[in-house]
Chains A and B, each alone.
Chain A
């Protein structure tokens, strides 16, 4: 059983550029979460999907951020016009269907550096 995978693992970009990250959840996990972790802090919730529906978005998710989960499988997180403050680790997690949805399994993360 493969775990949650994320691509790329590292991304360096210049301020003002757009970036897109991908997350592939564990197969048959219907919930998918995005978190952001800055240095020295715990992960902070950004958004989550149940199947293809985006059910909750944090206030941290500004208009420059958009997430999608077409067909309820993989998900993408896009950041437009990146700013230096966007530099962080972006973590994806998935959880199984009803009855076990409280178990979240994390991927290795995508580390974004905005120069």
Chain B
């Protein structure tokens, strides 16, 4: 069975600090996709990134970066120089090819000015 664990329930940082959100996954499939979504207070899930199981290259997009390590089944997300607008709930998710998403419980990120 697939499972996603986000051990950090809530993280508080001061603006401009770097913060890393952890995600550990379990799957028996060799082909799978990993995702991060952001859910601001408005409630809509915003897609941030998708990674397939064959691509372990780290990715950077502006202040966001992702570290995918198959050896530890982890897909961590780092926000550099956090801003108040980054405050939201962040979800890591896993899917087999083209099918349902299995989400973690989410990490609440609070960025204080």
Q: Which residues of A are in contact with B by a Cβ distance under 8 Å? A: 31, 33, 35, 40-45, 48, 56, 89, 91, 93, 95, 98, 101-109, 111
Contact = CB atoms under 8 A, between A and B. Distances in A.
B101 A56 contact: no
Contacts, number: 57
Interface size band for B = 20 to 34
B33 A41 contact: no
Contacts of B105: 40-42
B106 A48 contact: no
B25 interface: no
Contacts of A91: 45
B100 A42 contact: no
Nearest to B43: A109
Contacts of B52: 102
Given A42-B104, A107-B44, 5 more contacts: A33-B100, A41-B105, A42-B93, A56-B100, A108-B42
A102 B42 CA distance: 24
B74 to A, nearest CB: 17
Interface of B: 4, 33, 37, 42-45, 47, 50, 52, 91, 93, 95, 97-106
Contact of A43 (B33, B45, B97): B45
B102 A45 contact: yes
Contacts of A44: 103
Nearest to A43: B103
Contacts of A95: 98
B33 A102 contact: yes
A106 B105 CA distance: 17
Contacts of B47: 103-106
Given A42-B91, A102-B33, A31 B98 contact: yes
Contact of A89 (B43, B95, B103): B43
Contacts of A89: 43
A40 B43 CA distance: 12
